Amino acid sequence: MSIPVGILGATGLVGQRLVSLLDGHPQLEVVALAAGDERVGSTYAEEVTWRIDAPLPATSGQLTLDHAHPAELSGDPEVVLSALPGSVAREVEPVFAEAGTLVVSNASFDRMASDVPLIIPEVNAEHIHLIEHQREARGWDGALVKNPNCTAATITIPLAALGQFGIEQVRAVTMQAISGAGADGVMAIDAIDNVLPNIPGEADKLASEPAKLLGSYTGGRIEPAGLTVDAACHRVPVIDGHMASVWVDLDTSPEIDAVTEAFDTFSPVDLPSAPTQPIVRRQELRRPRPRYDRDEAGGMSVTVGPVRVDDSTVQFECLAHNTIRGAAGACLLAAELAIETGYV
């Protein structure tokens, strides 16, 4: 099977990850790449400032960059993976979905819309069926599927493992990598020797997205999970890898062995890009660390650090690769789920 796929925002940090991860993909073949207007007409290899520690795939390098519009994208892709900035994505993604394309998007607009699946396959695969409701409501032949915010994904995967104990309240302090702000996001003078508190908009995404992600799908709608999330979000001088210190207040008081077993046995899914172990637990006091743990399972696993249980509160550190598990890899997983469930 080879399904033609286009990447919008292919020259950015997430777009480059998509190009890299799709090299040799068993189901999807890159046929089109799009970037900003001034690059259109040049080849990808000529325009991209390649920032990935693997060679630029030759076949993608030879593709000519297109405008991010269905009428102008080469190769008639059935699937479009969007790594566009939010303001551009808001205009462009619905046009692709209306034109019959499955769009899987990293941009935040419409993540909380009631008819838009916000997907982590290990957590809420059944939410993909919102596509039927969306197609009916919006009159689209295609569909719009969203990835969660990168830090929301990092935190929600371990929260899903703890769901069996009843989650009431979550507090988190995040330490987020520079690459999370995009290729031109943080100037060196701010990034080095510094911590930047209050990342704009981030705490709001953490307050809203986990409840939808962990919600139940019934009768064509998502019933949000009844938890609250308060977060303080910081940009730190790390290239890749978002980390968080998390406190979870439960409505039960489990033994620590039950909690660690819940992390260790959290179920994988059978999709081409899925890790065999979504949560990797480290016992060492000083792990996880971004430099050592962000590439676990090719960047697709979340690493959970030492777990403490104090009555009904569980505390742990967690870390995931923001442009892979938090963005490009998440996008591939959602596309693979849509293929498996027959929406492509």
Ligand X SMILES: NC(=O)c1ccc[n+]([C@@H]2O[C@H](COP(=O)([O-])OP(=O)(O)OC[C@H]3O[C@@H](n4cnc5c(N)ncnc54)[C@H](OP(=O)(O)O)[C@@H]3O)[C@@H](O)[C@H]2O)c1
Count of C-beta atoms within a 10 Å radius of residue 260: 20
Q: Which two tokens stand for residue 148?
A: 């969660």
Under 8 Å CB-to-CB from 215, ≥6 apart: which residues? 124, 127, 222, 223, 224, 225
Q: Which two tokens stand for residue 134?
A: 């969306």
Q: Is 154 in the site for ligand X (CB under 6 A)?
A: no
Tell which positions 252-281 bind ligand X, by CB under 6 A.
Answer: none
Q: How many helices (H) and strands (E) does the chain have?
A: 12, 16
Would you call 242 a catalytic residue per the annotation? yes
Q: Is 124 in the site for ligand X (CB under 6 A)?
A: no
Q: Please, what is the minimum distance in Å from the beta carbon of residue 261 to ligand X?
A: 30
Q: Is 84 in the site for ligand X (CB under 6 A)?
A: yes
User: By CB under 6 A, which span of 7-15, 70-78, 113-121, 299-307 interacts with ligand X?
Assistant: 7-15
User: By CB under 6 A, which span of 128-136, 174-182, 275-283, 305-313 interacts with ligand X?
Assistant: 174-182
Site string for ligand X, 299-338 (x = CB under 6 A): -----------------------xx--xx-----------
Q: Which of 150, 233, 318, 331 is catalytic?
A: 150
Q: Please, what is the minimum distance in Å from the beta carbon of residue 111 to ligand X?
A: 10
139, amino acid identity: G
Q: Which of 127, 233, 242, 321 is catalytic?
A: 242
Q: Which is nearer to ligand X, 178 or 309 (CB)?
A: 178
Q: Please, what is the minimum distance in Å from the beta carbon of residue 9 to ligand X?
A: 3
Contact 28, 77 (CB under 8 A): no
Q: Is 104 in the site for ligand X (CB under 6 A)?
A: no
Q: How far is CA 69 from CA 202, 266, 302, in A?
A: 29, 40, 34
Q: Please, what is the minimum distance in Å from the beta carbon of residue 238 to ligand X?
A: 12
Under 8 Å CB-to-CB from 122, ≥6 apart: which residues? 157, 160, 266, 267, 268, 269, 274, 278
- Determine the Cα–Cα distance for residues 52 and 48; give it in Å rounded to an integer: 11
Under 8 Å CB-to-CB from 93, ≥6 apart: which residues? 80, 82, 84, 103, 105, 107, 144
Q: How far is CA 42 from CA 65, 76, 277, in A?
A: 6, 19, 40
242: helix, strand or coil: strand
Under 8 Å CB-to-CB from 148, ≥6 apart: which residues? 111, 118, 119, 120, 156, 209, 213, 330
Residue 146 phi, psi dihedral angles, 5° rounding: -115, 145
Q: Which of 14, 211, 309, 333 binds ligand X (CB under 6 A)?
A: 14
Count of residues of this chain found to bind ligand X when the rule CB under 6 A is applied:
30
Q: Please, what is the minimum distance in Å from the beta carbon of residue 180 to ligand X?
A: 4
Residue 30 phi, psi dihedral angles, 5° rounding: -70, 120
Q: Which is nearer to ligand X, 199 or 307 (CB)?
A: 199
Q: Which is nearer to ligand X, 38 or 270 (CB)?
A: 38
Q: Please, what is the minimum distance in Å from the beta carbon of residue 96 to ligand X?
A: 12
Q: Which of 22, 107, 271, 344 binds ligand X (CB under 6 A)?
A: 107
Element (H, E) at 172: strand 167-176
Q: Which is nearer to ligand X, 89 or 332 (CB)?
A: 89
Tell which positions 177-216 bind ligand X, by CB under 6 A.
Answer: 179-180, 182-184
Q: Is 88 in the site for ligand X (CB under 6 A)?
A: yes
Q: Which residues contribute to the site for ligand X (CB under 6 A)?
A: 9-15, 34-36, 39, 68, 83-86, 88-89, 106-107, 150, 179-180, 182-184, 322-323, 326-327
Enzyme catalytic residues: 150, 242
